[in-house]
Structure 1
């Protein structure tokens, strides 16, 4: 699908849109004529909606927990019968530290947010798109999905799932009028690392990519109907190398970035 096949009145849903990449994806949508429903599990989603309305589009905020099927149902009720032209499934959480040291409730939340809730929402919205033979889906995966994530094992595993899932779903929908694009950023300047308790790690404290630039790359790739986009030359090189490097070596390399205490003094 080309951008000129979008309807004059366009409607997008962006999850995880209160801060970071999600907020910038929502901004891209508003700047390009989309009315919006934006979603997050925190009150800051209302502040984000107020900010985005200044761009002249209709913006509805929904505060709900997309780690639960009930939370996704609440979002779908807010959407109602409006045809979704673009679903930007960006909601996700991380978790640092060694797997056996992590609280299992937090582990479960990473899986439920990144995988279960995302799949449920895409299943519901995707079926609506398929009935119309029209729509775009952007899934925020990660270059983390290319490597075993020592001291970030569950998070990297969920992103490996999403990266793989996006390509599979794209193939299933080939020729249907519904496109699927996977945005695969590297470490990005957001609240992610603080919320994941990773501010004592090298990756948590190193310089990161700009969320605005990451979002623009993903949004434009979605509009073009591309399969995927890895943002930033450094990340492109890293994923290329990861494809030919043994997983044991990758796991050791990841340890140097994500193990607690690796932050520069």
Structure 2
């Protein structure tokens, strides 16, 4: 019976990396809880996956950039008596432009989405996992979290939080059977850049963007193997290594060159 299968909760599960991860879990027979803002997208993907993979798909329409939303997601899952075996914190957005000129209210929503939603969902479901001494968490960060990002300062800052915070939690749970994996993609061909009004950046104009399906495969494989961290793509691995060796000024200049308008 499909109901006897394990459940994976994926935020931002209707597009980009989140959708590709959802496909991978579905192919392996996991039931899904998909959280996203667009009701029609959720309904379409739910119907497709139920038919194609013979799994249960629970959809939750929430905007996780709103303070109360992640708490409401936890409450809804609790009320449905669903045990989450794998949590995938994936939903995230950015804002493009000089910090002195960008919209602070938009940036506060991004901090809520990229940081606070991760914190709330992880705290809630990690407690459940610890009570069973079983479970996996995938936190989607970015190589942006390994370096400051002029023209994307708040986004880079949120991803730096995810990287640092996840490493700290890992140390706290090192004597348990719970695994937490951080996925660090580089620039990926999703609607992220459209939502961030970032199409004019050098990075996008050059068009050297990763395939979200490949990024998802890297993340899924690392998660199921219990790895702590995975940088997706050899170019991104090289960039992270370079950012660790080069002087801070050189790293900033490299990052600005990629981010600023072409």
SS class of match (2:245): coil
Note the alpha carbon deviations across 1:74-96, whole angstroms, 9 max, x for none.
Answer: 21133223221100110111111
Whole-angstrom distance in 1 between the partners of 2:63 and 2:251: 33
1:35-184 alignment, distance < 5 Å:
35-43=31-39, 44-53=41-50, 54-80=52-78, 81-184=81-184
- Asked if structure 2 preserves the Cα contact closer than 8 Å seen for 1:141 and 1:183, the reply is yes
Note the alpha carbon deviations across 1:157-188, whole angstroms, 9 max, x for none.
Answer: 10011011111111111121111000000011
If the length of structure 1 is used for normalisation, what is the TM-score? Answer: 0.92
Whole-angstrom distance in 2 between the partners of 1:110 and 1:147: 18
Note the alpha carbon deviations across 1:209-236, whole angstroms, 9 max, x for none.
Answer: 1101100110111111100110111011
Whole-angstrom distance in 2 between the partners of 1:127 and 1:67: 23
Pairwise CA distance, 1:9: 2.1
Q: Which residue of 1 aligns with 2:226?
A: 225
Stretches of structure 1 that go unaligned for 5 or more consecutive residues are 1-7
If the length of structure 2 is used for normalisation, what is the TM-score? Answer: 0.93
Q: Which residue of 2 aligns with 1:9?
A: 5
Whole-angstrom distance in 2 between the partners of 1:154 and 1:120: 20
Q: Which residue of 2 aligns with 1:259?
A: 260
Stretches of structure 2 that go unaligned for 5 or more consecutive residues are none
SS class of match (1:139): strand
Whole-angstrom distance in 2 between the partners of 1:173 and 1:68: 29
Q: Which residue of 2 aligns with 1:195?
A: 195
SS class of match (1:28): helix
Q: Which residue of 1 aligns with 2:246?
A: 245
Pairwise CA distance, 1:68: 3.0
Pairwise CA distance, 1:103: 0.6
Q: Which residue of 2 aligns with 1:4?
A: none
Among 19, 26, 31, the alignment partner of 2:27 is 31
SS class of match (1:243): helix
Q: Which residue of 2 aligns with 1:215?
A: 216
Q: How many residues align?
A: 254
Please tell me the root mean square deviation across aligned C-alpha atoms, in Å: 1.2
Whole-angstrom distance in 2 between the partners of 1:199 and 1:139: 26
- Asked if structure 1 preserves the Cα contact closer than 8 Å seen for 2:29 and 2:53, the reply is no
Pairwise CA distance, 1:242: 0.7
Whole-angstrom distance in 2 between the partners of 1:51 and 1:241: 42
- Asked if structure 2 preserves the Cα contact closer than 8 Å seen for 1:83 and 1:129, the reply is no
